């Protein structure tokens, strides 16, 4: 397929589709490239028919908005299928080939137990059992020299035994293949010749970085989810064609960018953490368009709050986890805290009020949903304190039960010796503190000066809690996008197609020639990739970064090296001081990885024009809200009818279809007529 | 749900909501501190194995908060109270540091551990301290790494800094730091580590100040006291659920590298009385003239004595408030002059072997008190292997930790042990072979699990590891401190079998030599060193293990076909279970000999204790009690040699007869020594 994207962009103005297949709902966003108008449509996710769900969502939104399938420029879709396949351990029967002596690379991991002081601690169980790991005779030296040649006959025998054992896919990870992939490539060829039906994934193809366990794991994950993802992408592509969409189909990936569907099928491991990542990319784009370069994103749903740091670009990290497994390809770094609308509050026997990480989820849900939940949750506390009303949700389509919420909180209130409304306020304070404490290490890791950051809130509960969190931490500005409930779908429609390339080694910062050579080889790889995607080289943007550290350290800082060589050292010291509070300019530096991020910008979407009619600063009602230890009178507005660009004072409750925003008294806020975002600033 | 008493909550200073809010804030600050040390550290010890601790202290020096995410898990019970007075009066911008086990009264327990603390003021008033320690890889002394089992006194273990002000008015006193670094083989890396530690104290201060600006000193103080009280209540609640009584257990350091070469026994009676606990180590062997002593000063709740208790509490209540309040109810009794409370001058470097053994012993006593909650013992070793090799390109030597040598955990009730990693040493991160081969000229030939090394049982102990390293340079030196469990097996429980012991062999020109525990070993190009580490003990009769699990172990290659048949009574063929043959084999061996003994210690210990009964060992220690400290070890060795020469009937002597025999000998030895010293020279 691979129709040229640049060509697509040059045709008549068209529509972009963003799809996010979530656990409960599938969001489809439709963006009009001509005027930036964005609409979001939700469809319940049918887990037994994900492709059907996507088709339905796409059809519905196209019909509703009278858009012809042939007018769609491209569709970008994300899903959690790859992630869930790993977490639920429902992937294919997979084999692994390793260098002799390293059969247990997956078993031993990096040794450290997640919670060793606990006698019940469990070691993460490998995706490939020991019985399906085979050793091959070969050895490559750290320099790339072959110490022992590959015993091809023995390798064939090992493969035959694995195939006999019923494996559908085989991962290969040989020592030092990141520096000399010859043996891995030979095994790949042997497999292609002799066993064309077996999916083969070699570690140097997928992510050629030093560290055998982490690299093997990426190859294994890719093999493990491979067959299922190939099937899924295949039927998705077919279904889209049947729906009349002949545009490029792009899949969102963990680094926040997009991949062609063929590429995604070949390396589905790149999509594993795409779900929340694409929301962050979308948020970064929306915030950036609104003039906010430094952003903390807060995606708060039913079970948890996902937080990430954007500093110009979303910060990528290489220490993310997929379930219990490390994932060392660059992925948008997201910290998850067990604080969502459904988080359960309980009384600790020794005298403390605790909230989460256990959640009532969507089934049974908070007590006030009246679907059988009896334990008090954060949402029940929102209702009892008056932050949300009984008919706020889904435009009143879903009525909340104050009675059930009261019953659920009564026990806690009794323990605390206070009225239920005070207990509810306590629940909210503790949930806020949990988020605050969870945000601290993230701030630390990125050296973020939070007084200069903006908190961007989305997800069902994000806008409800954002101003309270900002007030607690001392963040002075808050942003709520126009459609906070559909950020992940919107993100897909707004992000760029992009790909990472890496080369591992050890460079002296002064060795400009070697570094330039390494980047040149990365750009050559990028060029091949662009050609395969049918993208003209001129359309691409390359971003060079280096993972650097003081000689002797183990953790690197990623520093942009688009600048002159001379500035790289000072840029590192500056960034180091920013993150860690000091720098050591006498200490020599070393470069560990060079990376290239190649992106294909999707073109700017103009801001939507807003209608200025039927707007009014008169609240639809006034509500008593318990906040800060007292009951305050809070005006309630329909967000869609707020006057544009008119500064108003908190407190306020703002209603919209997919969420309720609570502006605390210490903020002023306005609906930005230009961007469609709600802005809030601290009234110091 | 049961109604649980909330007896102490009335005395708390903060309401339950503010309490929880502040608890989260304090934890957030120490987690950030930990991140910083790990990311900024320069040595493998700090950045990979994470041998460091960060904490916030009350003005009295109690650990009110410490990291749960990173670092080594020995912060609970760190007693800063013994050093804080030495820095008074504190001024803003001070940082004090020390690595002196004796002048710090047992806060420091070996010289590489470099402790530091910084006062935090609010409106001129001292509110708390930020504190940290990290293991500096080398602080001088007789061996690279400053830790060698054969050190006989602390002056062979590097520079010793009594508590000293390192930073004044926010400025590092370079003249002080220079003394410390001048004594190290790797001053630049140590400097990097120490700057990381100072950086984290700085960050902690600014975070605490931000918090103080929001809540004020009164709330912060109240919060620190409340979280300590809270943890204490939780711990007391857990201990009060244990049956009252005395639980006695002992185990051994193998002692091969200690002069005399005898096992060193650590003997514990754990007394549970209501919600309090006493750890009484009376009967423990005297201090040794090697680096295995722990400077505890017999302090209540000392961090290197209570790890087993802390782990038990964290198992019972995983979200227990993690601070020193947890062990306020733990009283310690350790006689002076023993290996875990030595007199001045002793060597401490390799005390981690002792510390792991103490944790095992506490586990054994807990197993008597609360059998179902506690696993069998794990590999009992967290040995650090180091290699130093010539680098022809630079003309210098390169040195790196090769790998932490650890092994399997003990089996749990209903759940197998963990393979290749256990609960005492599970904080170590290993070093990827690809990274190690970048650091030093070696080839990792094998790094894998060791089949048939887990103690058999209804639930199986985790298996140990096999680690083989090929050297490519001459004159390469290898050290591996803290090797243990080469002879005394990790014990099984309740019918479960003990695990396989570890070993160290060297392959040279095709010949394999068993070299036993190593202190410093020279190897050459082409030589291969092979380590095997112990597994963990099993629980329950292996013949009651679910045959399908045995088959899975056979298929995975963790249990051999032979062991499955001979030990588990499970017959397999071609990766299939032969159910009929299994049933027949298990029937044939069915014995109903009542309930099995609580522990299976293995043949080596059983043979040793046939001669060296509890009475004999206690009697020897009692007999040398009156002997002057300076010659006590000598006299004790003579007594033990003499006792070893006694005929077999002496094994069954009554205690009075043993005491009598020993008393006579001690008098005679002392008389002889005194007569020598009276001879004019």
* Tens digits of residue pLDDT in A28-66: 989 888 777 788 888 888 888 999 999 999 999 999 999
Contact assignment for B421 to A111 by CB distance below 8 Å: yes
Three-class SS state of B151: coil
Give the closest residue to B58 by CA, choosing from B288, B260, B217, B240.
B217
What are the phi and psi torsion angles at A489 (to 5°)? Answer: -65, -45
Q: Nearest Cα to B251, choosing from B107, B376, B416?
A: B376
For B383, phi then psi, to 5°, come to -80, 140
Burial of A153 (0-12, 13-18, 19+ CB in 10 A): exposed
Alpha-carbon span A673 to A676, nearest angstrom: 6
Residue intervals in chain A for CATH 3.40.50 = 86-229
Does the structure show a pLDDT above 90 at A400?
yes
Provide the pLDDT for residue A6.
Answer: 38
Q: Count H helices, E strands: chain A?
A: 17, 35
Alpha carbon of A427: minimum distance to chain B alpha carbons (Å):
8
The pLDDT of residue A13: 47
Q: Which of residues 382-401 of B touch A (CB under 8 A)?
A: none
For chain B, helix (H) and strand (E) counts, in that order, are 15, 24
What are the φ and ψ backbone dihedral angles of A678, each rounded to 5 degrees?
Answer: -90, 130
- Considering the domain A497-600 in this protein, what is its CATH number? 3.30.1490
CA distance B103 to B162: 6
pLDDT in tens, B50-93: 889 999 999 999 999 999 888 888 899 999 999 999 999 999 99
Predicted local distance difference test score (pLDDT) of residue A503 = 83
| Res. B4: pLDDT tops 70 | no
> A61-101 pLDDT, tens per residue?
999 999 999 899 889 898 888 998 998 899 999 999 999 99
* Least confident span in A143-152, A437-446, A619-628, B628-637: A437-446
Q: Highest mean pLDDT: which of A34-48, A357-371, B184-198?
A: B184-198
Contact B253, B340 (CB under 8 A): no
Q: Average pLDDT for residues B655-668, to the nearest whole number?
A: 96
Q: Is the pLDDT of residue B622 over 90?
A: yes
Which segments of A512-620 are extended strands (E)?
A: 541-550, 557-560, 589-600
**Joined tokens for residue B123:** 């409106």
Q: Residue A415: which of B71, B464, B4 has the closest Cα?
A: B4
User: In which band, very low, low, confident or very high, does the pLDDT at A9 lie, cut at 50, 70 and 90?
Assistant: very low
Tell which residue, A383, A20, A584, has the closest CA to residue B194: A584
CB atoms within 10 A of CB B426: 23
CB B33 within 8 A of CB B69: no
Distance from CA of A582 to the nearest CA of B (A): 7
Phi then psi dihedrals of residue B350, to 5 deg: -90, 25
> Residue B35: which residues within 8 A CB-CB, separation 6 or more?
A441, A444, A445, B69, B70
Q: Is A417 in CB contact (< 8 Å) with chain B?
A: no
Structure tokens at B188: 């630049």
Beta strands in A70-195 (DSSP E): 72-79, 94-99, 133-136, 139-140, 146-148, 169-173
Task: Tell me the average pLDDT across A632-649.
Answer: 93
* Angle formed by the axes of helices B629-644 and B614-623, nearest 10°: 140
Return the pLDDT at A7.
39
Q: pLDDT digit string (tens) for B530-586?
A: 999 999 999 999 999 999 999 999 999 999 999 999 999 999 998 899 999 999 999
Cβ–Cβ < 8 Å for A267, A446: no
In the predicted structure, residue B157 carries a pLDDT above the cut 90: yes
Q: Decide if pLDDT at A380 tops 90.
A: yes
Q: In whole numbers, what is the pLDDT of chain A averaged over residues?
A: 88
Does the structure show a pLDDT above 60 at A643?
Answer: yes
Among B287, B304, B283, B231, which Cα is nearest to B79's? Answer: B304
Mean pLDDT of B248-263: 93
Pairing of strands A589-600, A497-508: antiparallel
CB neighbours of residue A641 within 10 Å: 16
How many CB atoms within 10 Å of residue A396? 12
A565, pLDDT greater than 70: no
Output A559 or B434, whichever has higher pLDDT: B434
Burial of A674 (0-12, 13-18, 19+ CB in 10 A): middle
Q: How far apart are CA A91 and CA A268, in angstroms?
A: 12
- Secondary structure (3-state) at B172: strand
Query: Which residue among A212, A354, A584 places its CB closest to the CB of B434?
Result: A212
* Share of residues in chain B with pLDDT > 90 (%): 79
Residue B249's pLDDT band, with cuts at 50, 70 and 90, is: very high
How far apart CA A524 and CA A518 sit, in angstroms, is: 10
pLDDT digits (tens, 9 = 90+) for A274-304: 888 888 988 998 898 889 999 999 999 888 8
SS (H, E, C) A35-71: CCCEEEEEEECCCCCHHHHHHHHHHHHHHHCCCCHHH
Give the A:B interface size as CB pairs under 8 Å: 243
Task: Check CB contact under 8 Å for B429 and A112.
Answer: yes
Q: Boundaries of CATH 3.30.1490 in chain A?
A: 497-600
Q: How many CB atoms within 10 Å of residue B555? A: 17
* Torsion region of A585: left, alpha or beta (phi above 0 gives left; psi -120 to 50 gives alpha): alpha
N-term to C-term CA, chain B: 81
Interface contact A580-B40, CB threshold 8 A: yes
Is B406's Cβ below 8 Å from some Cβ in A? yes
Q: Does the ipTM exceed 0.85?
A: yes
pLDDT given for residue A361 in this prediction: 75
* Position A563 confidence tier, pLDDT thresholds 50, 70, 90: low
Asked whether the predicted pLDDT for residue A623 surpasses 90, the reply is yes
d(CA A473, CA A438): 11
Per-residue pLDDT, A585: 81
d(CA A426, CA A404): 18
- If phi over 0 gives left and psi between -120 and 50 gives alpha, with beta otherwise, what is residue A592? alpha
Q: Helix H segments across A534-682?
A: 565-580
Q: For residue B152, with 0-12 CB atoms within 10 Å meaning exposed, 13-18 middle and 19 or more buried, which class applies?
A: middle
Rounded percentage of chain A residues whose pLDDT exceeds 70: 95
* Omega before residue B483 within 30° of 0, cis: no
Per the CB < 8 Å rule, is B6 touching A351? yes
pLDDT at B428: 85
Least confident of A263-277, A522-536, B157-171: A522-536
The predicted model gives B157-173 an average pLDDT of 97
CB contact under 8 A, A553 and B202: no
pLDDT tier, B8 (very low <50, low <70, confident <90, very high otherwise): very low
| B204 in contact with chain A, both atoms CB, cutoff 8 A | no
pLDDT of residue A171: 98
pLDDT, residue A12, reads: 59
The Cα B302–Cα B75 span in angstroms is 10
Tell me the mean pLDDT in the region B364-390. Answer: 94
Give pLDDT, residue A530: 85
**B407 alpha carbon, distance to own chain's centre:** 14
For B298: left if phi > 0, alpha if psi spans -120 to 50, otherwise beta; the answer is left
Nearest alpha-carbon partner for B194 in B122, B139, B269, B252 = B139
pLDDT in tens, B413-433: 999 999 999 988 888 889 899
User: Torsion angle, CA of B71/B72/B76/B79, rounded to 10 degrees?
Assistant: -90
Structure-model confidence comparison of residues B389 and A506, the more confident one: B389
What is the spatial distance between Cα A653 and Cα B205, in angstroms, rounded to a whole number? 37
The sign of the dihedral angle between the CA atoms of B309, B313, B319, B320 is negative
Domain covering A5-85+230-271 assigned CATH 3.30.420.40 in the classification: yes
Q: In B, which residues are within 8 Å of A176 by CB distance?
A: 434, 437
Neighboring chain A residues of B73 at a CB cutoff of 8 Å: 116-117
| Chain B residues close to A115, C-beta within 8 Å | 318
What is the pLDDT averaged over residues A173-179? 96
Residue scoring higher pLDDT (A503 or B128): B128
Structure tokens at B576: 């299939």
Q: Which two tokens stand for residue B498?
A: 């003990």
* pLDDT category of residue A8 using cuts at 50, 70 and 90: very low
Residue with tokens 């490519």: B472
pLDDT given for residue B137 in this prediction: 86
CATH architecture of A86-229: 3-Layer(aba) Sandwich (3.40)
Decide which of B323 and A438 is more confident.
B323
DSSP A12: S
For residue A581, which residues of chain B lie inside 8 Å, CB to CB? 36, 199, 202-203, 206
User: How many other CB atoms sit within 10 Å of the CB of residue A87?
Assistant: 14
- Residue B9: its pLDDT value, please? 46
- More reliable by pLDDT, A473 or A172: A172
Give residue A443's pLDDT band: very low, low, confident or very high (50, 70, 90).
confident
pLDDT of residue A560: 79
Across the interface, of B24, B374, B418, the residue whose CB is closest to A433 is: B24
Contact between chains at A116 and B427 (C-beta distance less than 8 A) = yes
Structure tokens at B49: 């194995």
Q: Which residues of A touch B422 (CB under 8 A)?
A: 116
A490 in Cβ contact with A29 (< 8 Å):
yes
Q: Which among A217, A229, A222, A442 is positioned nearest to A325, based on CA atoms?
A: A217
Q: Locate tokens 């949402």: which residue? A: A379
Give the minimum alpha-carbon distance from B205 to chain A in angstroms, rounded to a whole number. Answer: 12
At A610, the pLDDT band (50, 70, 90 cuts) reads low
Average pLDDT over residues B492-518: 96
**Is the distance from CB of A182 to CB of A138 less than 8 angstroms?**
no
Q: How far apart are alpha carbons B581 and A394 in whole angstroms?
A: 65
pLDDT of amino acid A3: 39
The pLDDT tens digits of the residues spanning B447-467 come to 999 999 999 999 999 999 999
Angstrom CA distances, A475 to A470, A653, B26, B404, stand at 5, 20, 19, 43
Measured between alpha carbons, how far is B609 from B229 in angstroms, rounded to an integer? Answer: 43
Provide the 3-class DSSP secondary structure of residue B104.
Answer: coil
pLDDT exceeds cutoff 50 at A2: no
Residue reference for tokens 């519905």: A60
Q: Which residues of B touch A102 (CB under 8 A)?
A: 433, 446-448
Which of A214-218, A308-312, A606-610 shows the lowest per-residue confidence on average (mean pLDDT)? A606-610
**Integer Rg of chain B from CA:** 26
CB of A674 within 8 A of CB of A653? no
Indicate the SS3 state at residue A314: strand
Set of chain B residues whose Cβ sits within 8 Å of the Cβ of A317: none
- Max mean pLDDT range (A388-402, A477-491, B358-372, B471-485): B358-372
Residues B378 and B459 sit within 8 Å (Cβ to Cβ): no
The A residues from 21 to 50 touching B (CB cutoff 8 Å) are: none
């Amino acid at each position: 397929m691979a129709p040229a994207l640049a060509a697509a962009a040059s045709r008549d103005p068209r529509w972009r589709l963003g799809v996010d297949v979530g656990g409960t709902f599938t969001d489809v966003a439709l963006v009009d490239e001509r005027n930036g108008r964005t609409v979001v449509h939700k469809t319940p996710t049918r887990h037994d028919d994900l492709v059907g769900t996507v088709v339905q969502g796409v059809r519905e939104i196209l019909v509703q908005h009278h858009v012809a399938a042939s007018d769609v420029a491209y569709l970008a879709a994300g899903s959690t299928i790859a992630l869930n396949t790993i977490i639920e351990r429902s992937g294919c029967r997979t084999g692994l080939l390793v260098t002799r002596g390293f059969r247990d690379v997956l078993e031993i991991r990096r040794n450290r137990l997640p919670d060793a002081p606990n006698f019940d601690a469990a070691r993460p169980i490998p995706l490939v059992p020991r019985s399906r790991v085979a050793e091959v005779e070969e050895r490559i030296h750290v320099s790339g020299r072959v110490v022992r040649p590959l015993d091809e006959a023995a390798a064939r025998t090992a493969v035959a035994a694995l195939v006999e054992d019923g494996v559908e896919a085989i991962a290969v990870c040989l020592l030092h293949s990141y520096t000399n992939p010859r043996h891995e490539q030979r095994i790949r060829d042997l497999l292609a010749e002799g066993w064309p039906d077996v999916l083969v994934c070699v570690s140097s193809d997928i992510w050629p970085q030093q560290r055998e366990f982490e690299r093997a794991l990426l190859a294994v994950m890719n093999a493990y989810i491979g067959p299922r993802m190939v099937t899924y992408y295949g039927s998705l592509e077919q279904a889209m064609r049947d729906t009349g969409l002949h545009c490029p189909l792009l899949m969102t990936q963990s680094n926040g960018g997009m991949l062609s569907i063929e590429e995604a099928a070949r390396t589905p491991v790149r999509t594993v953490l795409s779900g929340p990542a694409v929301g962050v990319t979308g948020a970064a784009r929306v915030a950036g368009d609104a003039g906010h370069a430094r952003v903390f994103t807060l995606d708060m749903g039913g079970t948890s709050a996902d937080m990430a740091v954007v500093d110009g670009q979303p910060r990528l990290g290489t220490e993310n986890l997929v379930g219990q497994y490390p994932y060392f390809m660059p992925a948008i770094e997201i910290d998850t805290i067990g604080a969502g609308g459904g988080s359960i509050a309980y009384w600790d026997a020794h005298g403390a009020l605790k909230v989460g990480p256990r959640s009532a989820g969507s089934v049974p849900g908070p007590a006030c949903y009246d679907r059988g939940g009896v334990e008090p949750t954060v949402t029940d506390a929102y209702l009892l304190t008056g932050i949300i009303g009984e008919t706020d949700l889904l435009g009143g389509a879903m009525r909340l039960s104050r009675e059930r919420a009261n019953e659920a909180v009564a026990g806690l209130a009794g323990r605390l010796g206070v009225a239920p409304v005070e207990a509810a306020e306590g629940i909210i304070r503790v949930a806020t503190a949990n988020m605050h404490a969870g945000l601290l290490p993230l701030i630390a890791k990125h050296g973020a000066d939070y007084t200069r950051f903006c908190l961007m809130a989305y997800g069902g509960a994000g806008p409800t809690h954002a101003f309270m969190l900002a007030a607690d931490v001392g963040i002075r500005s808050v942003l709520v996008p126009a459609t906070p409930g559909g950020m992940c779908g919107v993100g897909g429609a707004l992000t760029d197609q992009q790909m990472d390339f890496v080369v591992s080694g050890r460079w002296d910062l002064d060795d400009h020639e070697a570094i330039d050579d390494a980047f040149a080889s990365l750009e050559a790889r990028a060029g091949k990739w662009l050609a395969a995607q049918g993208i003209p080289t001129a359309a691409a943007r390359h971003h060079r970064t280096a993972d650097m550290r003081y000689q002797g350290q183990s953790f690197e800082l990623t520093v942009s090296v688009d600048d002159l060589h001379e500035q790289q050292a000072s840029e590192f010291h500056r960034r180091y001081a920013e993150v860690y509070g000091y720098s050591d300019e006498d200490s020599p530096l070393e470069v560990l990885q060079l990376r290239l991020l190649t992106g294909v910008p999707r073109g700017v979407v103009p801001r939507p024009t807003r209608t200025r009619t039927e707007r009014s600063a008169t609240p639809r009602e006034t509500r008593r809200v318990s906040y800060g230890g007292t009951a305050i009178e809070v005006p309630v507005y329909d967000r869609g009818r707020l006057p544009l660009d008119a500064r108003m004072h908190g407190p306020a409750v703002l209603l919209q279809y997919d969420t309720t925003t609570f502006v605390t008294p210490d903020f002023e806020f306005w609906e930005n007529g230009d961007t469609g975002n709600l802005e809030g600033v601290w009234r110091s | 749900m049961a109604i649980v008493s909330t007896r102490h909550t009335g005395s708390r200073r903060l309401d339950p909501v503010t309490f929880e809010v502040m608890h989260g804030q304090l934890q957030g600050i120490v987690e950030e501190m930990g991140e910083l040390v790990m990311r900024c550290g320069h040595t493998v010890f700090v950045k990979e194995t994470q041998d460091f601790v960060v904490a916030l202290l009350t003005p009295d020096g109690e650990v009110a908060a410490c990291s749960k995410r990173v670092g080594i898990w020995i912060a609970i019970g760190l007693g800063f109270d013994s050093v804080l007075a030495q820095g008074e009066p504190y001024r803003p911008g001070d940082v004090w540091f020390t690595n002196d086990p004796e002048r710090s009264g047992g806060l420091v327990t070996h010289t590489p551990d470099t402790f530091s603390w910084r006062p935090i003021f609010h409106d001129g008033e001292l509110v708390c301290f930020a504190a940290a320690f990290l293991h500096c890889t080398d602080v001088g002394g007789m061996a690279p790494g400053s830790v060698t089992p054969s050190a006989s006194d602390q002056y062979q273990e590097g520079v010793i800094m009594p508590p000293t002000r390192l930073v004044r008015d926010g400025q590092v006193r370079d003249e002080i730091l220079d003394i410390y670094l001048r004594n190290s083989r790797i001053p630049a890396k140590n400097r990097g580590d120490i700057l990381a530690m100072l950086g984290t104290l700085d960050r902690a201060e600014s975070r605490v100040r931000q918090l103080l600006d929001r809540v004020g000193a009164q709330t912060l103080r109240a919060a620190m006291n409340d979280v300590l009280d809270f943890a204490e209540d939780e711990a007391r609640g857990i201990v009060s659920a244990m049956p009252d009584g005395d639980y006695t257990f002992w185990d051994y350091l193998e002692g091969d590298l200690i002069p005399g070469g005898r096992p060193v026994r650590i003997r514990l009676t754990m007394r549970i009385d209501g919600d309090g606990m006493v750890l009484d180590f009376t009967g423990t062997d005297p201090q040794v003239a090697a680096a295995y002593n722990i400077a505890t000063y017999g302090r209540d709740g000392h961090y290197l004595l209570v790890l087993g208790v802390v782990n038990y509490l964290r198992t019972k209540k995983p979200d227990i408030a993690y601070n020193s309040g947890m062990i306020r109810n733990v009283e310690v009794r350790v006689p002076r002059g023993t290996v875990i409370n030595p007199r001045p001058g002793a060597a401490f470097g390799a005390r981690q072997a002792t510390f792991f053994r103490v944790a095992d012993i506490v586990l054994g006593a807990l197993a008597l008190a609360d059998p179902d909650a506690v696993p069998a013992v794990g590999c009992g070793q967290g040995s650090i292997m180091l290699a130093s090799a010539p680098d022809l390109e630079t003309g210098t030597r390169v040195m790196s930790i090769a790998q932490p040598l650890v092994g399997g955990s003990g089996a749990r009730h209903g759940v197998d042990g963990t393979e290749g990693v256990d609960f005492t040493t599970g904080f170590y991160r290993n070093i990827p072979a690809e990274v190690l081969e970048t650091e030093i000229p070696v080839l990792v030939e094998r790094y894998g699990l060791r089949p048939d090394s887990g103690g058999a049982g209804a639930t199986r102990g985790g298996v140990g590891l096999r680690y083989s390293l090929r050297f490519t340079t001459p004159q390469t030196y290898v050290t591996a401190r803290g090797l243990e469990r080469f002879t005394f097996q990790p014990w099984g429980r309740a019918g479960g079998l003990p695990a396989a012991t570890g070993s160290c062999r060297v392959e040279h020109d095709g010949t394999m030599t068993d070299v036993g525990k190593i202190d410093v070993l020279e190897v050459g190009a082409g030589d291969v060193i092979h380590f095997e580490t112990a597994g963990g003990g099993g629980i329950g009769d292996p013949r009651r293990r679910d045959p399908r699990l045995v088959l899975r172990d056979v298929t995975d290659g963790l249990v051999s076909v032979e062991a499955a048949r001979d030990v588990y009574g499970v017959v397999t063929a071609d990766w299939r279970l032969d159910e009929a043959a299994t049933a027949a084999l298990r029937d044939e061996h069915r014995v109903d000999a009542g309930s099995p003994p609580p522990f299976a210690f293995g043949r080596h210990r059983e043979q040793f204790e046939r001669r060296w009964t509890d009475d004999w060992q206690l009697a020897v220690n009692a007999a040398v009690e009156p002997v002057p400290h300076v010659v006590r070890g000598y006299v004790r060795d003579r007594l033990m040699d003499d006792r070893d020469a006694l005929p077999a009937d002496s094994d069954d002597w009554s205690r009075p007869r043993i005491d009598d025999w020993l008393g006579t000998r001690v008098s005679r030895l002392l008389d002889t020594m005194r007569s020598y010293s009276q001879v004019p020279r």
